[in-house]
Structure 1
């Protein structure tokens, strides 16, 4: 992804101000004393699909951060993108918690909801499902036939790996030999090279794999997808206002959503995250 030109950024800022002003019309005021700082942090978990530098990731989320800041009386929102999953969890669990989190490692988000008191706001509407892939000449036809096979998965703390292990357990696949590599695309490359007999990848990589002639032998159970959470300390008025503002993006700020790879938001519910953890047994 190339950095947007200065002209494009200026145009986006102008459009953003107009959208934010429209979104604020008719919305009850929050008790701003409960949000005492002049700026707050948006912690972004890009998980194991990111192929950009931290500075490029910060630029990707800048427009969205400005939009959210405009909803809270022009608060300054600091974008803090994190790729390493464990580092993301440490930051989210630290004493100085970010006010808002956007994450792709939904199993880790679910634990922050269950154990850390984070409050779900919205998530992508389509469910998340990982796919088991094999080479076009493989004799494997089903996930059950992966018993005793070498299965390569991405980062062991990723949502992909968590739901993959859960599905192997659900299907009672005996003695699979599971190993991990950091990135999703590395999984596909090693399966294509014959280094691994099968791999587990996210829907984006799975689609590319199938289009290139590879085979998908099964998918995991559907679970909640990329999500936005608010700090345990965020007041109820903030939760209501920010949820409303995020849902308003579906019609008012589709360009900002497209920049972060989201088509639309739907309202989140705590039970969805608990159901995910029941599946993964985390």
Structure 2
């Protein structure tokens, strides 16, 4: 296959739409997920950009935001007209600190799973207290998420024997090899999907919190926000829309999650005006 043919979908995704004179940037951050690049992200989210563009009568261009500092700066300066990002605390700060407006969150919501090995004598969350726990890096969003869930259930992670590991797959390794008695992983992670597929035991599921939120600059009108929400809500109602959702890896969009997203930082314990996640 020629280079032109391989690049044709990318070229079509970038081509201006006849009759649209307004250009908007949709910044997409997938956290620390590896194995991707700008071209793949444009193709992955090109259908979403087209749906948003149709609702706004504008050309929406996807921009891959690899670095968190770049995402923060894009919101702070308003260079990003729209942003869809994980970890979720970044869009939450976009609402709180930079005047962005809520558009939607991805379905399903995110959770922290507390997992234990098969045959574990630990049968309830309160029995985790005093046990060795494996968790993602302490600076990561999911570590903060799981620590908050434990804290809200009377367990202080800072007073536990916690081993922090770089990858969530390593959490599973520590549990299955007996290095820790419990572990904490994200419900939407590959580690969680494999754990469930292999029949792993989930001891506790946290409260749900918004996942992969989309926010918009403050200068969008209420009518434009409503138009985008309508377009996103209707994606699951058509084969083309389903293809867009499948490409992104979600089941749909929730336009009713604004209150939960706005309280997320307080729930995490980010009451100092910061609490920026350094990792996914």
Consecutive aligned runs of 4 or more in structure 1 exceeding 4 Å deviation: 5-10
Q: Does 1:189 align with 2:136?
A: no
Aligned 1:114-125 pairs, distance under 5 A:
114-125=96-107
Q: Does 1:62 align with 2:50?
A: no
Q: Does 1:94 align with 2:76?
A: yes
Q: Is this contact kept in 2: 1:163–1:221, CA < 8 A?
A: no
TM-superposition CA deviations, 1:182-227 (whole Å, max 9, x none): 4333322333333443221122433421332422111211222322
- Provide the residue aligned with 1:238 in structure 2: 224
- Provide the residue aligned with 1:26 in structure 2: none
Residues 1:52 and 1:92: Cα distance change in structure 2 (over 3 Å): same
Q: Secondary structure at the match of 1:148?
A: coil
Residues 1:276 and 1:196: Cα distance change in structure 2 (over 3 Å): same
Aligned residues: 258
Deviation at 1:77, TM superposition (A): 0.7
Please point out which of 152, 164, 177 is paired with 1:170. Answer: 152
Residues 1:64 and 1:155: Cα distance change in structure 2 (over 3 Å): farther
Q: Secondary structure at the match of 2:211?
A: coil
Q: Structure 1: where are the runs of 5+ without partners?
A: 22-31
Residues 1:246 and 1:157: Cα distance change in structure 2 (over 3 Å): farther
- Provide the residue aligned with 2:249 in structure 1: 261
TM-superposition CA deviations, 1:85-122 (whole Å, max 9, x none): x4365234431431111123123322322232221111
Q: Secondary structure at the match of 1:194?
A: coil
- Provide the residue aligned with 2:95 in structure 1: 113
Residues 1:39 and 1:73: Cα distance change in structure 2 (over 3 Å): same
Deviates more, 1:154-163 or 1:218-227: 154-163
Please point out which of 121, 129, 145 is paired with 1:147. Answer: 129
TM-superposition CA deviations, 1:148-197 (whole Å, max 9, x none): 33322224454422221112112212521334334333322333333443
Q: TM-score, normalised by structure 2?
A: 0.76
Residues 1:44 and 1:193: Cα distance change in structure 2 (over 3 Å): farther
Q: Secondary structure at the match of 2:169?
A: helix
- Provide the residue aligned with 1:127 in structure 2: 109
TM-superposition CA deviations, 1:5-48 (whole Å, max 9, x none): 958975xx69xx9xx99xxxxxxxxxx9xxxx843221112124
**Which structure dedicates a bigger proportion of its chain to strand?**
2
Q: Is this contact kept in 2: 1:54–1:81, CA < 8 A?
A: no
Q: TM-score, normalised by structure 1?
A: 0.76
Q: Structure 2: where are the runs of 5+ without partners?
A: 271-280
Residues 1:7 and 1:80: Cα distance change in structure 2 (over 3 Å): closer
Q: Is this contact kept in 2: 1:120–1:268, CA < 8 A?
A: no
Q: Does 1:279 align with 2:267?
A: yes
Q: Is this contact kept in 1: 2:27–2:83, CA < 8 A?
A: yes
Deviation at 1:234, TM superposition (A): 2.7
Distance 2:220 2:106 in 1: 22
